[in-house]
């Protein structure tokens, strides 16, 4: 049985949920202990995306695991610009297959307890269908991972590549904190909730900035009539709805953050 089928079966064994849900991913973790701790203190089933080779990677993953929440590898991928921000362990478009695969598996070993992978930057690499096929084939072979497309380019080939590899996939709907302004972040959070209400679920990505964490701590504690799920659980419920309705699981198109 494929992981996608297993996720759908697990979700469908439960009573069909009637309440919309969000998944909330906090990116760029592992380098700043104070910010990591503040992010970990958020209430609810937040998902934590940890950079490989960051000093706090393993310890933070263990701490997240101890709370019963989900860990993603925040995998650096080549961008159209600002590649000096990638950090170590990045996948690049000029890598031959063996180097690409070896780099990926070293990064996967850096962060324990993984539920899946999402891309850090990647506006160049994620539109490269050949290398996205390499990536999704390797992740599918691991057997228990999902892929979340951060959608840093509208030309991303990740959805098609994940579908070909039968890898559970979803795409980010809303970036919450492109601007470090609490009123802006509140509006983006409202947009995330509206999309969840309209479609049944939505995925938001944020970062461990002080303004972001202040808004999220307040908003997550005040949520009513809406659930917060880990990304794997959300994908499972989405697959359940699709199997129940006889429709394929299709990720909604979303805007892009920056040319990263």
- For every residue of 97-161, DSSP letters joined together read HHHHHHHHHHHHHHS-SEEEEEEEE-TTGGG-HHHHHHHHHHHHHHSS-EEEE--SSTT--HHHH
Encoded tokens for 250 = 């299709």
Q: Is residue 83 part of a domain?
A: yes
Q: Is residue 44 part of a domain?
A: yes
- For every residue of 149-192, DSSP letters joined together read E--SSTT--HHHHHHHHT--EEE--EES-SS--HHHHHHHHHHH
Global pTM reads 0.91
Cβ neighbours of 247 (radius 10 Å): 9
Q: Do the beta carbons of residue 127 and residue 121 sit within 8 Å?
A: no
Q: Do the beta carbons of residue 33 and residue 20 sit within 8 Å?
A: no
pLDDT digits (tens, 9 = 90+) for 11-22: 565 555 579 999
Q: Which CATH number covers residue 23?
A: 3.20.20.370
Please state, in angstroms and rounded to a whole number, the distance separating the CA atoms of residues 206 and 223.
17
pLDDT at 241 (0 to 100): 83
Q: Is residue 260 part of a domain?
A: no
Please state, in angstroms and rounded to a whole number, the distance separating the CA atoms of residues 226 and 245.
22
Range of the domain at 20: 3-245
With 70 as the cut, is the pLDDT of residue 166 above it? Answer: yes
pLDDT band at 252 (very low <50, low <70, confident <90, very high): very low
Please state, in angstroms and rounded to a whole number, the distance separating the CA atoms of residues 191 and 173.
9
Cβ neighbours of 41 (radius 10 Å): 11
pLDDT band at 240 (very low <50, low <70, confident <90, very high): confident
Q: Is residue 163 part of a domain?
A: yes
Please state, in angstroms and rounded to a whole number, the distance separating the CA atoms of residues 39 and 36.
5
Q: Do the beta carbons of residue 239 and residue 249 sit within 8 Å?
A: yes
Higher-pLDDT residue of 105, 258: 105
Cβ neighbours of 76 (radius 10 Å): 25
Q: Is residue 251 part of a domain?
A: no
pLDDT digits (tens, 9 = 90+) for 24-77: 999 999 999 999 999 999 999 999 999 999 999 999 999 999 999 999 999 999
**Helix, strand or coil, per DSSP, at residue 73:** strand
Q: Is residue 255 part of a domain?
A: no
End-to-end CA distance of the chain: 36
Count of domains forming the chain: 1
- Determine phi and psi for 27, rounding to 5 degrees: -90, 170
Q: Is residue 256 part of a domain?
A: no
């Amino acid at each position: 049985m494929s992981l996608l089928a297993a996720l759908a079966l697990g979700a469908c064994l439960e009573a069909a949920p009637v309440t919309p849900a969000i998944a909330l991913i906090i990116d760029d973790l592992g380098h700043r202990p104070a910010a990591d701790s503040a992010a970990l203190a958020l209430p609810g089933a937040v998902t934590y995306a940890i950079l490989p080779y960051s000093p706090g990677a393993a310890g933070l993953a263990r701490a997240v695991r101890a709370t019963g929440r989900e860990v993603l590898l925040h995998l650096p991928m080549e961008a159209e610009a600002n590649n000096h921000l990638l950090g170590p362990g990045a996948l690049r478009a000029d890598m031959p297959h063996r180097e690409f695969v070896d780099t990926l598996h070293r990064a996967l070993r850096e962060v324990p307890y993984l539920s899946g992978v999402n891309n850090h930057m990647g506006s160049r690499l994620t539109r490269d269908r050949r290398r996205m096929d390499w990536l999704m084939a390797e992740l599918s072979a691991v057997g228990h991972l999902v892929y979340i497309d951060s959608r840093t380019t509208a030309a991303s080939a990740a959805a098609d590549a994940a579908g070909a590899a039968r890898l559970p996939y979803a795409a980010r709907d809303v970036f919450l904190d492109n601007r470090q302004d609490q009123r802006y972040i509140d509006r983006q959070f409202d947009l995330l909730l509206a999309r969840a209400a309209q479609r049944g679920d939505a995925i938001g990505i944020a970062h461990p900035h002080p303004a972001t964490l202040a808004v999220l701590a307040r908003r997550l504690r005040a949520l009513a009539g809406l659930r917060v799920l880990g990304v794997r659980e959300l994908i499972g419920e989405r697959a359940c709805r699709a199997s129940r309705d006889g429709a394929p699981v299709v990720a909604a198109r979303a805007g892009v953050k920056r040319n990263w």
